Amino acid sequence: MSGRIARRLISVSLLAALAGCSSLGLGGDKQSASAVVDPQVTAAGAAPSAAAAPAGAAPAASAGGYVAGKCPQVVIRTEGAVFRTYAKGAKDDPEKLVYQASLAQATRQCTSDGANLGITVAVQGRLVAGPMGGAGKVTLPIRVAVMDGEKTLYSDVTNFTAEIPPGESTAQFVFTDTKISSPGGSGGFTNVYVGFDQGPVKGDKAKKKK
């Protein structure tokens, strides 16, 4: 299987997991976008079975190297869930809003080479044009960081392009980051934090993954 085909299969799996998030308690109008944490996800994009592994047992891995037991949870940062842009010279004026983007729900998938975890994260979001905006492409700075407590294991910002189609004022998008890496022996407090970039995350003296 080529790398391109493998990446496509991962994307399809993660998109399927996002599509099923509503049934897992992540969707719906009442769900807060500020701290969305998804369930453990396997290579097939499904929640793990009820039969838990014995305490202290090594995490299970499929033939493809996918792991679930040590895959960190994904959290959408409270301060990074919404991103707004205003017309030049304006700030916090709803009449001068160009666009607003928000992140709603996320899922992830992990692989292991025995020493490190490779993590793929998919995040669903929405883009809305304001009174000063319209159809077109918008660049959104999205930061992904892996934190073990206050220690930064990975931190990177992607300038992601979302687009509102002609004749529309809103659009949905899915941001995917496939290059995340974390030490396989990270502590039990490790999480993957996702949000629009507001500067370095707390404790970010990061080993930044190039």
Q: What is the pLDDT of residue 58?
A: 37
Query: Residue 87 in 3-state DSSP?
Result: coil
Q: What is the pLDDT of residue 183?
A: 86
- Calculate mean pLDDT across residues 135-151: 94
- Give the residue, 149 or 26, on which the prediction is more confident: 149
Q: What is the pLDDT of residue 110?
A: 93
Select from 99, 96, 42 the least CA-distant residue to 71: 42
- Calculate mean pLDDT across residues 178-194: 86
In the chain, % of residues over pLDDT 90:
48
- Give the residue, 120 or 51, on which the prediction is more confident: 120
Select from 156, 152, 128, 124 the least CA-distant residue to 142: 156
CA distance 145 to 194: 7
Please determine, for residue 55, whether its predicted confidence score (pLDDT) is greater than 80: no
Q: End-to-end alpha-carbon separation of the chain, Å?
A: 26
Which residues have CB under 8 Å from 65's CB, separation 6+?
Answer: 111, 112, 113
Which residues have CB under 8 Å from 2's CB, separation 6+?
Answer: none
Which residue type, as a one-letter code, is found at position 134? G
Per-residue confidence band for 36, with pLDDT thresholds at 50, 70 and 90: very low
